[in-house]
Structure 1
Amino acid sequence: MQATKPSDTEILLTQTFAASRETIFAAITKAEHVRAWMRPAAMTLVSCEFDLRVGGRLRYVFERPNGRKIEVRGIFEAVDPPHRFAYTEAYDFSPLKVLVMTSLEEADEKTIFKQTLRYSSKQERDEDFPGVATSSTEAYAKLDRYLAQLGQ
């Protein structure tokens, strides 16, 4: 996973997977797949919901070892399977709102995953960058292992 800052208000995450675009799209947008790989360190994913259509909602609920729950929610703004999707993302513990844009490009029998997170300010982007870089590296390494289990 490569995490960069292409502009003052954006983080770009890039990863190449040895799987088809269709497989990756399903793995990152279908709850039954996401539950298998999206587990941040020391947390459990207790709820995962997707209504993959423009205006549809997404919702993740994570539980920490101390029992405290964290909710991430969003609304889909664009959906073009299996090429791209975009949604707003908000957290129950923060006023931060982020536009998340994901694209999948096929190249040499692999898929290049690109996810751009757009913030309201450079300060928001800079404050979020270390956590995003770390958690995304962990998450997409787990996704890569999950895809290998699927035989992709």
Structure 2
Amino acid sequence: MSLDLTRLQTVLDGDTDILLRRDFQHPPAKVWRALTQPALIREWMAVKDHPMTRCDFDPRPGGTFHFEWQGPDGNSFFFSGPVIAVNPPHHISHIEYFNGDPAMSARITTDLAPQGSGTRMTMVMRYHDAEARAAAIATGMTDGMDEVYARLDAMQIPA
């Protein structure tokens, strides 16, 4: 029996990791573009009541990213950091800082593998320790992930 990964599967792994898996209808090259091109990121990553106000991404080793949203209260929050490793369209690893705080950082490793005519994404979010992972989860950072990845899957991604 195979897993239904048309919805995001989230697993706490060990003390420090969050493991995410999801299948997409698009082949890896298209999912890669949606994950790394700012114009496409803006289409799927905006969250209800949180407009995306900044989206910069230089997906190469030594590059950086900065994604920023405005909350319904008018306050903004952001994720930013350096890109560590890239192997398009199958692998990217980066460090993600929440609001620039090194204590709220994680190493994010995303792998895209062919799955039939689509793609299976496996993402590992690795925190410094169990407390850092618990603090990240407490911020609600996993809330809405299934919604935004469903929008990515439904997108018309250019060839």
TM-score by length of 2: 0.87
Cα deviation, 1:93-127, whole Å, max 9, x if unaligned, reads 75301101000000211200111000001122233
Name the % identity: 27
- Unaligned segments of structure 1, at least 5 residues: none
In the alignment of these two chains, the number of paired residues is: 150
Cα deviation, 1:41-66, whole Å, max 9, x if unaligned, reads 31000110011111110001111233
Higher helix fraction: Structure 1 or Structure 2?
1
Which stretch of the first structure deviates more once superposed, 32-41 or 76-85? Answer: 32-41
Correspondent of 1:17 among 18, 24, 27:
24
Indicate the SS of the match to 1:67. Answer: coil
Contact 1:70/1:93 (<8 A) preserved: no
Equivalent residue for 1:66? 73
Indicate the SS of the match to 2:123. Answer: strand
Equivalent residue for 2:130? 122
Contact 1:11/1:129 (<8 A) preserved: no
What's the RMSD between the two structures over aligned residues? 1.8
Name the CA distance, whole Å, in 1 between partners of 2:125 and 2:87: 18
Task: Say whether 1:135 aligns with 2:119.
Answer: no
Which stretch of the first structure deviates more once superposed, 136-145 or 4-13? Answer: 136-145
Structure 1 residue ranges (4+ consecutive) displaced by more than 6 angstroms after TM superposition: none
Equivalent residue for 2:111? 103
Task: Say whether 1:48 aligns with 2:55.
Answer: yes
Shift of residue 151 of structure 1? 8.1
Name the CA distance, whole Å, in 1 between partners of 2:81 and 2:144: 18
Taking a change above 3 Å as real, the CA distance of residues 92 and 128 of structure 1, as seen in their structure-2 partners, is: closer
Indicate the SS of the match to 1:26. Answer: helix
Name the CA distance, whole Å, in 1 between partners of 2:124 and 2:115: 19
Task: Say whether 1:3 aligns with 2:4.
Answer: no
